[in-house]
Amino acid sequence: MQSMQLTLLASKQKDVFLPYVDNYVNSISATLRPISLKIHDNPELNFREYIAHEVITTFLESQKGWEVTRSAYGLETAFVAVFDSGTPGPVISYNAEYDALAGIGHACGHNLIAIVSIGAALAAAAALTHFSLPGKVLIFGTPGEEGGGGKIMLLERGAYTDHKVDISLISHPGPAGDSVLSKTTAYTGFIAEYTGKAAHAAAAPWEGINALDALLLAYNGMSMLRQQTMPGDILQGYITNGGVAPNIIHAYAAGEFVARAATKTRRDILKAQLQNCFHAGASATGATLHFTQLESYDDMVPNLVLGAICRTAFNKLGGAIPAANEELARGGTKVSTDQGNVSYAMPSISLGFGIVSEEGNHNPKFAEAARTRDAHARAMRAAKALAVTGCIVLADDEVLGEARKEWKEAVGRKGDHEELGSI
C-alpha cells in the first residue's frame, strides 16, 4: 500500500477519539494497576493461570455491559468478554496474555499485556456507547502463550469465527523501543524418539540396535544442515534421554527439536529437511523412529493499515514508533508467538512498547521492570493507542475494508516467500 493512502487513512483519526480515550484510560489506570500487580506477584505457568483468570474475569464481570464467559472453549483458564452495542457493525478484539515463565516469573511482561488489552477494550467500549458507534468489542483471555499455543486452540475451536471477529489487537513490552509492525519468526517443535534393542556393550554389542547412535547421527545431521540453511533459519535441539548406563547398547533415546524461519511456509520446508536427518538416523541403525508434534507458531503478519492508525495515535501520546519504511527495514525478531497464527486468520497488529529495563525479555531483570510504575504508565499509553485504533475501525467501514484488503495481499505474499512490500 502506498504511503499517501496510509496517511489518508491515519488522518481519519478525528481528534474526538484520542482525547476521549486519553481521559477514559487515565480514569481507570489506578484500577488496572492492582490487577497487573496481582498477576505479576503470582506467576503461573501455561494453562494453570488460575489466579490471573479469576482476578480478570471478576473485574470484567463488575463492568457494566460486559458479558463474560469463564473457562471458554474447553480451556480452564481462557475467557471471552463481549460488549455489544446492539447495532450490527464491526467486531474488534483484544487478546490478553497472563502466563509466566518457569523460575523467572513475568519476565516477558504478560501482566502488562493483560492490562493493556483490558484497558484498551474498556476504553473502546466506552467510546462505542458515547459516540453511538455500531459493532462489538471483545476481549479474549488467551492462556499458554509461552508454551502450548492457547490462541491456536481458540482459533481451532472457533472462538474468533463464532464471534465473527474482524480484527485482532495486542501489545507486547520490550527493552528496545516502540514498534507496531513487528515481524516475528515462525516456529515449530517436535520430540524425536528412537527405539532400538538393548544388549551388553562389551559381551555382545552386535545383538543390539543402538537408539542413541541413531539420535546422534540425526543431531550431527542437523548440525551439518545448518551449512545450507537460509538467512533467518534456526535449528535447535537437545537430548532429553541418552541412555541409562555406559555398558549397554541403548534401547531408547529421545530429544526435543525446533525449527524457526522467517515465514511459516519456509518453516515447514525447513522442518521437513530437519526430519529427514532423523529418518536417516533410523535407516542407518535400524532403530524405530517416532515423532510427537509440539506447537507450531506462525510468523506475525502485521497489518499496515491498522499499524498506520496506531502509530499516529501512539506518537501523539508521546511514543516514538518510527516510520513504516524504517521499521520494516529493521527486519523481524527471532522470537515467536501464537499471535502470529491469529494474524494469518484476520488483520492484526502487535504494538510493541519499550519499558526501562537493564536486560531484555526472559531475564529476571525484565520481570522486575515489568512491575514498575513507569512500565505501567507506558502500558497505559499502549492501551490508549490500541483503543483509538479500534474506535477508528468501528467508526469507518472504509478503514476496515482497506485493512482486510491489505491483509489478504500480505498473507498471499507470505505464501510466495516474499516479505511485506514497501510502503
Backbone angles phi, psi at 169, to 5 degrees: -120, 145
**Rounded to the nearest 5°, which phi and psi values hold at 241?**
-145, 110
Q: Which three cell numbers stand for residue 36?
A: 497487573
Every domain of the chain and the residues it spans:
3-183+299-415, 186-297
What does the pLDDT average to over 220-231?
Answer: 97
Q: Is the pLDDT reported for residue 408 higher than 70?
A: yes
Tens of pLDDT, residue by residue over 339-356, are 999 999 999 999 999 999
Average pLDDT, the chain: 95
Is it the case that residue 219 has pLDDT exceeding 50? yes
Q: What is the pLDDT of residue 413?
A: 80
Across 384-400, average pLDDT: 98
Count other C-beta atoms under 10 Å from residue 133's C-beta: 22
On the question of pLDDT at 44 being above 70, the answer is: yes
Q: According to the CATH classification, is domain 186-297 in 3.30.413.10?
A: no
Residue 415's pLDDT band (boundaries 50, 70, 90)? low
What pLDDT does 43 receive?
99
pLDDT at 422: 33
For residue range 82-112, list pLDDT tens digits in order: 999 999 999 999 999 999 999 999 999 999 9
CATH 3.40.630.10 fits 3-183+299-415, yes or no: yes
Closest by Cα among 174, 176, 246, 162 to 210:
246
pLDDT at 5: 57
Q: Does pLDDT of 266 surpass 70?
A: yes
> Mind listing the pLDDT tens digit for each residue in 9-23?
555 555 799 999 999
